[in-house]
Structures are given as structure tokens and as C-alpha cells.
Amino acid sequence: MFSPLFSQWLRFSLLSILLTAVSTGSWGQVAPDGRPPIIDYQNRFLPVVAKQGMVAGPEKLAAEVGTRILKAGGNAVDAAVATGFALAVTYPRAGNLGGGGFMLIHLADENKQTLIDYRETAPAAATRDMYLNTDGEIDRMKEYFSHQSAGVPGTVAGMIYALENYGTMSLKKVLAPAIELASSGFNVSFALNFEINARAARLKQNPEALRLFFDKKGEPHAMGSRWKQPDLAWTLKQISRRGNAGFYEGAVARRIVAEMERGEGLITLDDLTNYRVVERAPVAGTFHDFTVVSTPPPSSGGIHIIQMLNILEGYDLKSMGHNSAAYIHHLVESMRRAYADRSAHLGDPDFASVPVSQLISKDYAAQQRQSIAPNQATPSSHIAPMQVLAGESTDTTHYTVVDKAGNVVANTYTLNFSFGSHIAVPGTGLLLNNEMADFAASPGKPNAYGLIEGETNAIAAGKRPLSSMSPTMVFKDGKPWLATGSPGGSVIITTVLQTLLNAMVFDMNIAAAAAGARVHHQWLPDKMRIEQGISPDTIRLLESMGHTVEVGQRTLGRTQSIMLDNGYLFGATDTRRPGGWVAGY
């Protein structure tokens, strides 16, 4: 077909390309300015790459719904809302209509950020001591798994608020994919089957949850089987037709209230109709040449991420080496101090004064840095605050969206526990949250984990419980560079912190930054949790410094991240749990 001379030239050219790629370790496209390749095969973890738009989320079908909205001309907010409603269908453990959360938005045209707070609120009938029994002890079953554990849900109002104020598409259009998934059904994945199995015993105690999540033999819907949710489709159609009124008033609201009355719950029609979204200014700080923007109270996440970055900015972290004993020691000492402050100062800013500016100031970080010894752990008993907040569930979800115009959304929302209270509302397809468990049920007394709960997070009618949810963005040269977030309750904050440091300090691509082994310390109990992947030698060095180390009990967090660099989008879904997906084009 080819002449012998041409064939010889072709073989030589291909061999030269191959040898060059092997010798440099790079098969990717080199940037015009000579910067490193877009994909560097020296890395063990590689991101998904796209140019126009991307959704990184915990479940494939919902992420693809968001990307379809982007391709149809929607912006990042349109796609985020569509993804959120789709997750209520395909990811029931945490995607939800009956929960709440926080949506951080970067608006490219205005070069500004805003935060949509759609956290749940305590019903009007909630009281400070509502979970205490006659002996003054906390009734954990009532707090976690009863109708009284549900706060007034904010997800539907939050999604609609974001769409109406910052989206471009109609509610009907962005809801259509979720309605189709619920009506026509979808094939059950391994991840979904696994998640239902993991909570089967508790879900089966509620007749409606048993009917929704299990087949006629009482088994979780099998992997590969078709799962249709006509009741949830009906609820979504009410919202599509009537907006907020389709959920917080009318037939859906009446069914929620009827279930509340049946189970001695607290939420009333007035609670539902009176729910309001709050738009807040995010918190912001700097770390070397980067600007970090994150979630304000009633989330504690943004404040303490910035506080820890301020403390760590005073050290040469890169020279210490990633996940070396010296690096982890200083990381943990910053965590210890931030979580101590969380216990004493954080709560709903509409009910308590939160000293945000002091906590995120560089001067305060310098004072805290002075108390950190370079080779010796500080016992948590030597750090002043005497109150600690309750533990928070690990079963939240996060997703991140970027569109072709440079708009960015980082959204974290939750039912609290996986499948919330495990109580489903008949005729609606939705699960009740158990977010009331995020309040301090008995300020001043130990909780189920031996921690002392803080007065600033005591239960009060209309109040939003303190959260660790931390959708976060990083800006470089004034432009969005990284957006991320995670589930994980109290480990959300430290998970996001380490993902940012891996990228900002150690120049990791976003997939490698997400995959790195993590550590966590929350002041009390005074122990360091470490994932598998930290060497035994490093652990021994940390123990010699006085740290109490607990290794490999479970993974820490699950980030969904997108990096914007050199005109490309790099997405990574954390592999710590199955089912995640990055959809880009």
C-alpha cells in the first residue's frame, strides 16, 4: 500500500514519538506557554478532562442529567438544580427533597460569589429539652429515628430560589429529567443495591420505606432490576407545576403533615409555608497567592478551613513532604485548635453572635501558631474551650458543576444519616430527614460519643442546626481554579482542607489530590484518625511526638471536585465510595 521508503519513515516517526513519551513520562498535550502537560502519566491518579462543561457527582445518572442541561444551553445553576432533583430519585440515601443544605455559586459575569442557605429549621413546637427523658438523659432513638427528629425541609425551596435568581431555564425543564427517571425507572446499580442493603434492617421497620426500597419478597431491589417510583414522580410533578406551593402547600404538604400527626411529629402546615431560604455572603480568606471562598455560619466549615489555612501558611509545608510525620503533626495541631473554637463559638448567626472576623484573622492564626511545638503534640485538655458539639452523620452528598461561561456551583445537601430517619411519607416517595440530631440535645452533658455539646447550638424553634457542610472554591489570579466539597459530618472540614492543600501546596492534579490518604482530629476525643496509606514508620514518629493514633477504621470523606486550568476542566470523583461519576463535554 505504501512505498518501502514511506513505510520506513512512518515507523521511524512513530518510534520517535513513543520514545519521547516514555522518556518524559508524558503523553498529554503540552500547554502553549510551556507549562506541564494537561495529562501527566507520571501520576497514578488521573482526572476526567473536558472543555465546555462538567458535573462531578456521587451518582452517574444524575451527573449526566446535569451535563445534558449544560449541553442544552443551561448555565451551572440550571445544571446544579437538575442534578439535585435527579439525585433525589437515583441516590436516595442522601439526595433528597426532604432535607437541606448549602449552595455556593460563582457568577462569572459579575465575578462574585454568593451562598444559598437552605438548611432545615426546627419546627415551631421544638423545645430545648425535647429529647431528654425523665432522668434528664438523651433519648437517642427519639433524636435519631423518630418523626420528631425531622426539621422543616429546605431542599425544594433552596433549589427553586437558586433557579429563579441565578438560573436561566424554567423549573419545568430542569425537573423533567428527574420526573422521567422516577416515572420510567432506571436500572439499579451495584452502589444503590449496596446502600439499601447496608440500611435494610432499619428501613424495614417503617412500612412505607419497606414498600419503596424492597421487592415483594422483602429483598432490596436487585442490581440490574428496573426501579420505578410513581409516588416520587407525582411529588416532583406537583413541584414542576406549582413551584414552592407544590411542596410546601397543597397535597404534598398535607401528606407530610398527616404522617407527622400519625407519628407524633412536630412539623405543621404553618412550619412548611413559613420556611424561608436565606442568601448569605460567603466567608473568604487567602493562602499565599490563592483566595479561598467557603460556607459561612450556620456552617462551621468555611470559617475553620480558612482558620487552619491561616495557621499553616506560616510553615514551609512543601519542604516537610506530603503526609510526612512533620506535615501531619502540624496539620493535626491546626485541626485541634480549630475544632476547639468550633465548640465554643459556632451556631446559627440569626440566634447567636459568631465572631467570624476574629476567627479567620491572620493575627489570631499567628497567636495559635505560637502555641504549636514543632515535635510535640499539644494535649487537647490544654486547649481552653470546655464545650464540644455533637457528632454529625457521614452520609451527606456533594456535587460540583462548571459551565462554559465559567460559572461554578458547589452544592452540599443531606438528610443527615444515610436515608435520614428511615421514615418515608406515604404517597410522596420522599424520606424524612433527621437533622434535629445536629442540635445540642443537652448542652453541657456528654453526647453518645462522650463529647460535651455546646450551648450555642441548643434547640430553639425556627433555628438552623450547626453544620460542617463546606462547599468551597479556590481562586487563582482572580479566576476560579478549584471547586470541591464532601460528605462526612465532622470530617468534611478536614477532608476539604487536605484536598485544597494537596493541590495548592503539593501541585497535585485534582484526581491525585482527592485520592491522597487523609487524617482527622476534632479536638475531642483526643485522638488522630488516619486512613490506610500512611506508613507505619510515620505513625511511629507521630506516636513518639505524643499523638494518639487510630488507623484504618473507615475512610474519611468523599470529594467531588473540578479544577479549572489552562482552558480545560479536570474532574475527579472520590473513589472511597462506589457509584461516583464525572460527566463532561
Active site residues: 396
Cell reading at 32: 502553549
Judged by DSSP in three states, 295 sits in: coil
Residue keyed to cell 432535607: 99
Task: Report which of 30, 372, 59 is spatially closest to residue 189, judged by C-alpha positions.
Answer: 59
Provide the H-helix boundaries in 243-324: 245-248, 250-262, 269-273, 301-312, 317-320
Measured between alpha carbons, how far is residue 289 from residues 313, 343, 359 in Å?
Answer: 11, 30, 20
**How far, in Å, CA of 91 to CA of 399, rounded?**
12
**How far, in Å, CA of 148 to CA of 139, rounded?**
11
Cell reading at 335: 485541626
Query: Is 119 within 8 Å of 102 (Cβ atoms)?
Result: yes
DSSP state of 121: B
**How far, in Å, CA of 338 to CA of 336, rounded?**
6
Give the list of residues 6+ apart from residue 516 with CB closer than 8 angstroms, or none: 322, 323, 498, 502, 508, 533
- Residue 6's CB is within 10 A of a number of other CB atoms, namely 10
| DSSP codes of every residue in 9-31 | HHHHHHHHHHHHHHHHTB-SPPP
List phi, psi (to 5°) of 400. Answer: -130, 140
Query: Is 304 within 8 Å of 143 (Cβ atoms)?
Result: no
Largest CA distance in the chain: 95
